Amino acid sequence: MMLELAVGDAYGAGFEYIDEAAVRKFNDLSSYRKHEKYDIGNGRYTDDTQMSTAIAELLVEGKEWTQLNIANKFVECFKRDEREGYAGRFYQFLQEVKTGEEFLQRIHADSDKSGAAMRASPIGFLSDIDYVKKYSAIQSKLTHDTSLGINAAIASALMSHYFIYELGDKKDLGKFLESQVHGNWNEPWIGKVGARGYMSVKAAITAIKEEKSLLVF
């Protein structure tokens, strides 16, 4: 799954928040595109994969799931492979902090955007749904300690859990999420996707339920 996340992230990076006409012209799966803003090159994954990797590594290592251990892993993964793609102030923040303890002391964890949801997928490998929800909430609170941010992260992790453990058909994904975490997850997303986390998650659910191909116009 991590490989697929990285590939999708690297491909999608070239189209994030750019002009719709450019998306329609170049989104044909023929090649990677460089993002107009970030100088990370073609076919390079972004912060979403880097932070997902941190989450996955901590799960594999089996360390206690605490905010300090998660923060240490976020800093470790960033320092060994610094790359653009993070929000500007957060990128500068990660360049400045040296430890997880400093991360926790200085972070302003009031975002309701998509970052916590984008890195939550590896948590879906946990076999216990209650732990999926608990671990997702804990990692979200480091940076997205808002109801919208936390619920989006939980829903994101439960999406991968749903398919990894074959809990149902894709058409029932939204209903399953609504049974586990607050939100109108079964309601189709229509229109542009903004920065808030629930928007990205709902759009992803809609695409999974309604489409049969990776190439969607």
Kindly state whether residue 197 falls inside one of the protein's structural domains: yes
Kindly state whether residue 190 falls inside one of the protein's structural domains: yes
Does residue 150 belong to any structural domain of this protein?
yes
Number of structural domains, the chain? 1
Per DSSP, the residues of 80-107 read HS--S-S-HHHHHHHHH--SHHHHHHH-
* pLDDT (0 to 100) of residue 214: 62
Model pLDDT for residues 27-73, shown as the tens digit of each residue: 888 899 887 777 777 888 889 999 999 999 999 999 999 999 999 99
Q: Which two tokens stand for residue 121?
A: 């997928």
Residue-level pLDDT, tens digit, the chain, 217 residues: 899 999 999 898 888 878 889 888 988 888 998 877 777 778 888 899 999 999 999 999 999 999 999 999 999 999 999 987 788 899 999 999 999 999 999 999 999 999 999 999 999 999 999 999 999 999 999 999 999 999 999 999 999 999 999 999 999 999 999 999 999 999 999 988 999 999 999 999 999 999 877 665 4
Question: Quick one: pLDDT at residue 169?
Answer: 96
Contacts for 12 with CB less than 8 Å, ≥ 6 apart:
none
**What was the pLDDT predicted at 126?**
98
Tell me whether residue 159 is in a domain.
yes
Please report the pLDDT score of residue 14 as a whole number.
86
And the tokens for 7? 């590939």
- Residue 103 inside a domain? The answer is no
- The answer to whether residue 116 is domain-embedded is yes
Other CB atoms within 10 Å distance of the CB of residue 213: 7
Domain that holds residue 118: 108-217
Q: How many residues does the chain have?
A: 217
Domain annotation covers residue 174: yes
Answer whether residue 152 is part of any domain. yes
Distance CA 71, CA 139 (A): 9
Distance of CA 43 to the CA centre of its chain: 18
